[in-house]
Amino acid sequence: MSDKKNENGISRREFLTKGALGSFLVAMGGATVGGFALPKPTVSPGPSRRYKLGDPGKFPVGTAMKMDKENIFLFRDVEGFYAITAVCTHLGCIVVRVDDGFACPCHGSRFAPDGHVVEGPAPRGLLWLEVSRTPDGGVMVDADVEVDLGTKLVV
Amino acid sequence: MADGLPDRDISRGTKWLLLVSSLVVIAIMVGEARSNLSAEWRRHQKEYHKLLLAKALDEANKETARSFNIALQQVVVPELGVTDRCVSCHTGIDNPHMADEKQPYRLHPGTFLKDHPVSRFGCAICHRGQGAAVNNADAKAVHAYWDYPMLPGKMVQASCGQCHDPKAMKGRGGDILARGARLFESSGCRACHKLGGRGGALGIALDDEGRRIIHQLPLTELKGEHTVWNWLAEHFRDPRGVVPTSQMRNPTLTEPEIEALTTYILSLSKLTIPEDYITPDKYEQKYEALRPGRPNGAELYRQFCFSCHESGTYSRWDKISGRFIPAIRGKALAASPAGYLRRNIELGRDGTQMPGWRKSGGGLSNSEIGALEAYIRGGVKPVEMTASAQGRGNAGRGRALFAQNCRGCHGSGGKGGVAPALGSATFLSVASDAFILSTIKNGRPDTAMPAFQRAGTAGLTDVELTDLLAYIRSMK
């Protein structure tokens, strides 16, 4: 086991050391990258919160309805479709639609028609949910995807 | 040098360990990444994406098609315990534009998904199979150790029976199931099998038969595919071909009838389905079972008696059970004393294959047994037997007389043979002395039982009859 050098000038011991360290780093790197995928599961363990609504033609411009089971308000105006959750950001009560926006029956929070807070104790506005097209041409609300206030689906 | 050698060897060994284990980890990671990226579902979704792009004609549809996201899909329905990933490959299952595509991109046929949206039912609740699988072979799970593999197309109707009344499915997409349900009643299955507490005891109760697992069935004689449905079908074609010791009569059905009956048997399940899913017709079926209408004797006879007694007008040797099955209908037979026929139906004949049909046995109500009795009597009034015993008989002498005159048919010791077993507890408790005496004296018309005392011939004397009676009474 002498430090005999080969033609490239690298001894066998050096080669082993470098190879071992190199492959260790590659393995660690790969595992770290893979590890980042772990906190985000591929599929949700609970029931899907994507609600298919079908043909957009069923909702004429001016539609303002509550999806009772899902607790989502669905609107369609000249600009397009948008959905606002009916769950109050304070303690999760279901807000009702009033003339000047939404009101929470539990602690009196009031929201503007676009969902932003007008009066406490709610810490932030009602969430806007993603409305998208399904491959068969229908519309769908995804209650798991929050979008910026004012995002509307143009149909 | 000799001191430094061990140290150097350890570090060299460690380096090798590090190199090899790192390479193994890398190999595993590469393998995982490859199997993930080349997964069957991913391939199908890419193909589906192409189909979407090809079918999108206007700009809006093209935009939707372009934004199609390739990702594993899963339907979770906690109420039904469903976690199905079938939609990962069957992406177009509810997309009307996919009606003419090939599997797995095709739209679900029929209007079933209108009333049964995937989001509320999943897939495996009807089709069975391994819902969490993400490739075709694992999803079907036919030759895997999976309890409920995917049902063949036509037999999916069996699953309707979980929430629907099978008979109500006729014309509603469940014709095969409805036909099977009717065949079950008309083929006399209940003569031996209980379903919902009604039926004989020779065969097993069938309440949960549709949830049977293939590994619970005897497979050594099964010729075709090892699936529950093939087992059932082969069993209906030839019961003893599959289970050599089976006592089941061959139901002699056509192939479509066998398919229908198999589908119906597969529908029998004790699995509890949440109330929200049960349909009004299922409730009506349950209501009818609790509040039956006026019983129909002929129909009851067909369901509960025909399999063994056939028309009931002749005795016959039954090869399968190795016994005579007696005639039970006919003018003279019908003229048995009041109560004799009825109690035989209620209590059965112990020691034979004839079960008791009363509520705690075969599950028939009093009014149903009344209707059966009336049908078997065929309008003939019961006759009171009047022969009376001559004092106390001598059972010893009776025994000798029995050996000479009766044993040939009735067997020794009352065990029965060609003729009924007289030692049966039911018979001894149900038949009155007068009935036994009259029967020996006058015979039993419609059967092979001759008269043993007839005017003008040398028959048994009244004293001898009494001795015989005493001997018969001593059999227990």
Q: Which of B8, B74, B94 sits opposite A43 (nearest CB)?
A: B74
Positions of E strands within B302-376: 316-318, 323-325
Contacts of A41 in chain B (CB under 8 A): none
A43-69 confidence digits (pLDDT tens): 888 888 888 888 888 888 888 888 888
Domain assignment present for B28 = no
Looking up tokens 């209940």 gives B190
Give me the DSSP letters along chain A. Answer: ----B-TTS-BHHHHHHHHHHHHHHHHHHHHHHHHHHTTS-SS-SS---EEEEE-GGGS-TT-EEEETTTTEEEEEETTEEEEEE-B-TTT-PBPEEETTEEE-TTT--EE-TTS-EEESS-SSPPPEEEEEE-TTS-EEEEEEEEE-TT--B--
Chain A residue with minimal CA distance to B107? Answer: A136
B303 and B371 co-located in one domain: yes
Q: With CA atoms as reference, report the closest residue to A141 among A82, A55, A56.
A: A82
The tally of CA atoms less than 13 A away on the side-chain side of residue A24 is 12
Cα angle, residue B66 at apex, residues B65 and B70 outer, rounded to 5°: 90
B277 and B308 co-located in one domain: no
Tell me what pLDDT residue B132 has.
92
Looking up tokens 């009825």 gives B342
Domain assignment present for B108 = yes
Tell me what pLDDT residue A9 has.
67
d(CA B374, CA B368): 10
Domain assignment present for B291 = no
Positions of E strands within B271-402: 316-318, 323-325
Task: Indicate which CATH number applies to the domain containing B400.
Answer: 1.10.760.10
Tell me what pLDDT residue B161 has.
94
B82 and B135 co-located in one domain: yes
B165 and B281 co-located in one domain: yes
- Looking at domain A50-147, which CATH architecture does it have? 3-layer Sandwich (2.102)
* Residue where one domain finishes, among candidates B123, B150, B177: B150
d(CA B476, CA B462): 24
d(CA B319, CA B444): 24
Report in angstroms the alpha-carbon separations of B95 from A136, B88, B136, B269: 5, 14, 20, 32
Q: Enumerate the β-bridge partners of residue B195.
A: B198
**SS3 call for B315:** coil
Mark yes or no for CB contact B76/A31 under 8 Å: no
Domain with CATH 2.102.10.10 in chain A: 50-147
Tell me what pLDDT residue A7 has.
60
* Residue where one domain finishes, among candidates B286, B306, B338: B286
Domain assignment present for B15 = no
B436 and B420 co-located in one domain: yes
Report in angstroms the alpha-carbon separations of B28 from A33, B24, B140: 14, 6, 28
Contacts of B15 in chain A (CB under 8 A): 16-17, 20
d(CA B219, CA B241): 11
Q: Enumerate the β-bridge partners of residue B317.
A: B324
B83 and B118 co-located in one domain: yes
CA dihedral B150, B156, B158, B164 (to 10 degrees): 120
B280 and B162 co-located in one domain: yes
Indicate the residue type of B447: T
Domain assignment present for B35 = no
Mark yes or no for CB contact B78/A47 under 8 Å: yes
Contacts of A45 in chain B (CB under 8 A): 76
Domain range holding B449? 395-474
Per-residue pLDDT of chain B (476 residues), as tens digits, is 444 444 555 678 888 899 999 999 999 999 988 988 889 999 999 999 999 899 888 887 788 888 888 889 999 999 998 999 999 999 999 888 898 899 899 999 988 998 999 989 999 999 999 999 999 999 999 888 899 999 999 899 999 999 999 999 999 999 999 999 999 999 999 999 999 999 999 999 999 999 999 999 999 999 999 999 999 999 999 999 999 999 998 888 999 999 999 999 999 998 889 999 999 999 999 998 888 889 999 999 999 999 999 998 888 888 888 888 888 888 777 778 878 889 999 999 887 889 999 999 999 999 999 999 999 988 888 877 777 777 788 888 999 999 988 888 888 887 887 888 888 888 888 888 888 988 888 888 778 888 888 766 668 888 888 999 999 998 87
Band the pLDDT of A8: cuts 50, 70, 90.
low
Cis-peptide into A41, omega within 30 deg = no
Tell me what pLDDT residue B138 has.
93
Contacts of B71 in chain A (CB under 8 A): 42
Polymer length of chain B: 476
Q: Which of B19, B71, B85 sits opposite A19 (nearest CB)?
A: B19
Band the pLDDT of A6: cuts 50, 70, 90.
low
* Residue where one domain finishes, among candidates B334, B351, B377: B377
Give me the DSSP letters along B142-176. Answer: TTSS-SSPPPPGGGGGGGGGGTS-GGGGTTTT-HH
Q: With CA atoms as reference, report the closest residue to A140 among A70, A87, A77, A79.
A: A70
Q: What domain count does chain B have?
A: 4
> Cα distance from B97 to chain A (closest Cα, Å)?
6
Task: Indicate which CATH number applies to the domain containing B302.
Answer: 1.10.760
Is a pLDDT exceeding 50 seen at residue A2? no
- Write out the two tokens for B79: 């109420």
A12-48 confidence digits (pLDDT tens): 778 888 888 899 999 999 899 888 888 888 888 888 8
B347 and B368 co-located in one domain: yes
Domain assignment present for B18 = no
Report in angstroms the alpha-carbon separations of B253 from B191, B220, B235, B236: 17, 24, 11, 8
B320 and B333 co-located in one domain: yes
Domain assignment present for B78 = yes
Residue B16 neighbours by CB under 8 Å, 6+ apart: A16, A20
Chain B residue with minimal CA distance to A19? Answer: B19
Domain assignment present for B340 = yes
